[in-house]
Amino acid sequence: MSTSTPAPPRPHAPGGPLPRKRKPGTRSPGEGRMAALLLSPTLLVLALVIAYPLISALYQSLFREESGLDENGFVAEGESFVGLANYTDMFVGESGARFLNALANTTFFTITTVTLETVLGLCLALAMNRAFKGRGLLRASILIPWAIPTAVSGLLWRWIFQSDGIANHLIGSEILWTAEGFQAKAAVIIAEVWKTAPFIGLLVLAGMQVIPEEVYEAARIDGAGWWRQLGSITLPLVKPTLLVAVLFRLLDALRMFDLPFVLIGPGKQSVETLSMLAWDESNQLRYGSASAFAIILFLYVALIAIVFVKLLGADVAGTKEVRTLRKGGRTRKAKAL
């Protein structure tokens, strides 16, 4: 920093009420305007890219394409308003069974992959947050799985999991990974966790990097061991970042598409997800029901996200963690004094 910068401010300037200390909830009109100014570009872009497709999907989901042929063999033109029939039909008969299967697969994949990714991602972050030679290299190499385009890594794993591929070769088995069955699910989970654990790892690592070292020092002086430090400092302080990382993984996992599609193949019930189902419907030109699936998936994702936020308190807008950190800072101050 240049010399024009004032001397690094002490984080805990002694005494006196600070000018911006206001009760949360006190708002000045200036800040509101400022906030509107800062937020509007974001909202504008998102409205353009998402609102329009969402609206059109909602609209489309209320219609059904004519699929009958006229006497010349042409598909009848136009579409008819069917109200919520595309939604209600989802739950009955053959297509109902398929929908429920896809819903179950989606949920199963989400729970298993996100859980494994979280555990693994935390381990990655803890490992990367230690000092050792070649740490930069490790950090960069951990990025590799995330950096390989999904379509390419899907192909790579398909190759690895071939009947005579390297996976069977190494473990001496003859598992038909890409055939229907539980092993196909396992293959998807292995590949997905491999690919996305780095996402959580990197975000959590960044969260760990902003924890002041002094907090740990204070804890060490108190005689807290590594596990105590992990449990009472690291985890609580990275929790907000971790929750955001997990939340975004949840959203992605619920919409999983490319990996099972490329790795196992379309139309395999063992791995068919809701996104694949929506794709298949639109591929078969049933845009109405494809849109209905997309909307249902959207609502399902929203529901999970809300439940997640509610249960675990991904308190992004709130101030709880800020206070925690300050408390940490105060502890540190006390110790330092």
165 binds other proteins (CB under 8 A): yes
The β-bridge partners of 59 are: none
Q: Is 145 exposed, middle or buried (0-12, 13-18, 19+ CB in 10 A)?
A: middle
Site string for other proteins, 103-142 (x = CB under 8 A): --------------------xx--x-xxxx--xxxxxxxx
Specify the residue, 90 or 278, whose C-beta has the smaller distance to other proteins.
278
17 binds other proteins (CB under 8 A): no
Q: Which residues 261-280 are close enough to bind other proteins by CB under 8 A?
A: 265-268, 274-275, 278-280
Minimum distance, C-beta of residue 5 to other proteins, in the bound complex (Å): 5
Q: Which of 85, 116, 148, 235 binds other proteins (CB under 8 A)?
A: 148
Interior/surface letters 101-140, b for 16+ CB within 10 angstroms, e for the rest: ebbebbbebbebbbebbbebbbebbbebbeeeeeeeeebe
3-state helix, strand, coil in the chain (%, to 5): 70, 0, 30
Q: Which of 15, 38, 171, 172 binds other proteins (CB under 8 A)?
A: 38
Q: How many residues does the chain have?
A: 337
Minimum distance, C-beta of residue 325 to other proteins, in the bound complex (Å): 6
Spatial distance between the Cα atoms of 62 and 118, rounded to a whole number of angstroms? 39
Q: Which residues 202-241 are close enough to bind other proteins by CB under 8 A?
A: 202-203, 205-214, 216, 237, 240-241
Contact indicator for 272, 260 with CB cutoff of 8 Å: yes
87 binds other proteins (CB under 8 A): no
Spatial distance between the Cα atoms of 123 and 247, rounded to a whole number of angstroms? 18
92 binds other proteins (CB under 8 A): no
327 binds other proteins (CB under 8 A): no
**Which of the ranges 21-29, 81-89, 111-119 carries the binding residues for other proteins, by CB under 8 A?**
21-29
Torsion of CA 189, 190, 196, 198, to 10 degrees: 150
Q: Which residues 40-69 are close enough to bind other proteins by CB under 8 A?
A: 41-43, 45-46, 48-60, 67-69
